[in-house]
Every structure is written in structure tokens, then in C-alpha cells.
Amino acid sequence: MNGNYPVREELQMRVIEAMGQLDYHPNAIARGLRRQRTQSIGVLIPQVNDSYLGMFSHMVEKTLFAHHYRALLCSIEESLEKETAYIESILQQRVDGVIMFPRAHSRENVERLLKENIPVVMIERKLPDLPVHHVLVRNYEGGYIGMRHLIDLGHRDIALVAAYFETYPMSERIQGALDAERDAGITLRPENVLIIESSERRFEIGYRVGNELLKRKTRPTAIFATTDELAIGILHALARNGVKVPEEISVIGFDNVPLAPFVYPALTTIDQPAVEMAETAAAILMRALQNGAGQAEYIMLQTKLVERDSTAPPFRG
């Protein structure tokens, strides 16, 4: 049944036939207790219906599967209550490892995992002073590069639109963008820094903010959205109001989600390497499971500008 002991093919077929007749299935948990492995990994995602996080979830599941591990996907929705409930559940499932996007409130839950000798890989967010692995992205540099792109095109009246400011990636992106403005000798008007706290989907937030910006007497010539979902919502609002992109207003996003090249116009964005993040997190976890407890790995991945059709110099009519 385990496929790890040589038997005659005839006997193997008889056993398989008997298992089918009896509707017998091996108890994975019992086998895991005996072998001290269940071949399962807990993957805790902030919001599984987010375009970028959905792409990451797909890639990490695919990568783990290739290593003969199964992903237990949990959508936390930034809730401590849900995170704690899922941590309890995956501990009962005796997972071999955990990949997660932590928040400040996650420390106690991470400490519970470590107490059970479960290796943890944190994605894109940090919890200092814990012996866990990290896979991070240069979000600050991404924010800086994105804003610098608009400045180099000649834009000076730029709106910065962000959501969920308190999370580590968003705060880094915002700071990078603001520092690019400062280094260029430009000060964003306070009303052009739009940081939205809302339970709405980011598409909806972008659409609403795009409409609000168009109602102003003085419109920005460019908009930097800290996620592609925000940017695509803004593009939709501009299109519905007959505003041409990039002729009248340029728009840039952040993440490079799969939809970004296919919206109209194709979205200029900052690429965040979801495939590399997933593969790196899985590789770190495989090393930890194979070699046992060792020094925590800290990997920093690069962001880069992907120029498409939604940005151009400001109209000089």
C-alpha cells in the first residue's frame, strides 16, 4: 500500500482490488504520526480573493505539490480571531510547516507554532526577534521607482492612492513614493494623498476615488495607486467619464497582476515577483524540513518597473 516494499505484481493487484471492494483508504493522520510527517503545509493568506494574493496562493500550492506536499489554504481576512482559529486547526492537523503573511497581532500565534517545532516562513511582512524565515520584497524601492517614473515623464500634480495603510507593504510603498517626490523637490498637495480605510474591494475603492478626483476643479495629471486593483478601478472610472488615458491622466499601479497587461490601456505597474516569492518560500521550507532547525533565512526580492500604455508625459495643450 505504501509502495515502498517489493512485492509481486499479481499480489499488488489483489491487494488493490481488495482495497477497492472494502472502500479502504489509508489514515493519513495515523501514518503521519508514525512517520512524524503529514506532508501538509498550512498557508495563511490575508485575503484569498485579492488578485495578487490569489496568484501567490496558486503558485505556492503548485510548488508545494511538486515537492509532494499538500497546501491547507486559509483565508485570514486580516482578522486575529480567524487567524487563531486556523492556527488551532492546522496544529490539530499536525502540519509540517507554515507559510503566512503575519500582522503585528500574529506574534502569539507564531510563537505557538514554534513551540511545536513547526518551521514558519513569513511573506512580505516582518515580526522582529522571532526565529522564523522571511521572504520580503523591496516595497519601498517599488514605491520610489513608480513615483520617479511619473516625475521623469514631467508630471508634477500627482495623486497618490493607497488602501490599508497600516499593513507593512502599503506603508513602505507610500513612504517610497513620498521620498521620491521630496528628492525631486516636489511636495504633494495634502488633498492628493488619499489613504483609504474601507472593507470594500480595492476595485470598488479605486472606482470611487477615481470619480472623486474627476469632480475637482484641478485634476491631477497622474495617479499612482499602490495596488493594481486600485489602479484598474481608477481606469474604469476614467473611462466611464470619457477621460483618455494616458493623454489626459496617466495611471500606474503596483503588483503586476495577471490582468494588468489586458486592461485598456495596458497598465504600467511595479512588478512584485509572485512566482519567485512562492518558489523561494517553498524552497526554504523544504530545506528546514530536511535539515532541521537552523539559522533563519532572510531573503529580499527585487521590484521593477513594467512600462505599458497607461503612462505618458502630461498633455501640454
Structural domains in the chain? 34-138+276-303 (3.40.50.2300), 139-272 (3.40.50.2300)
Residue 6 CA: distances (Å) to CA of 2, 11, 14, 202, 213? 10, 10, 14, 56, 71
Residue labelled with grid coordinates 495634502: 190
Residue 146 CA: distances (Å) to CA of 20, 197, 259, 283, 307? 59, 22, 19, 30, 10
The whole-angstrom separation of Cα 9 and Cα 200 is 58
* Beta strand extents in 21-125 (DSSP E only): 40-45, 70-75, 97-100, 120-123
Range with the lowest mean pLDDT among 164-168, 186-190, 220-224? Answer: 164-168
The whole-angstrom separation of Cα 305 and Cα 143 is 10
User: What's the pTM?
Assistant: 0.85
Best CA proximity match to 242, nearest among 210, 220, 203, 267: 210
Range with the lowest mean pLDDT among 4-8, 142-146, 155-159? Answer: 4-8
The whole-angstrom separation of Cα 151 and Cα 234 is 20
Range with the lowest mean pLDDT among 58-67, 78-87, 112-121, 193-202? Answer: 193-202
Confidence of residue 162 (pLDDT cuts 50, 70, 90): very high
Best CA proximity match to 52, nearest among 183, 177, 132, 142: 142
The whole-angstrom separation of Cα 215 and Cα 132 is 48
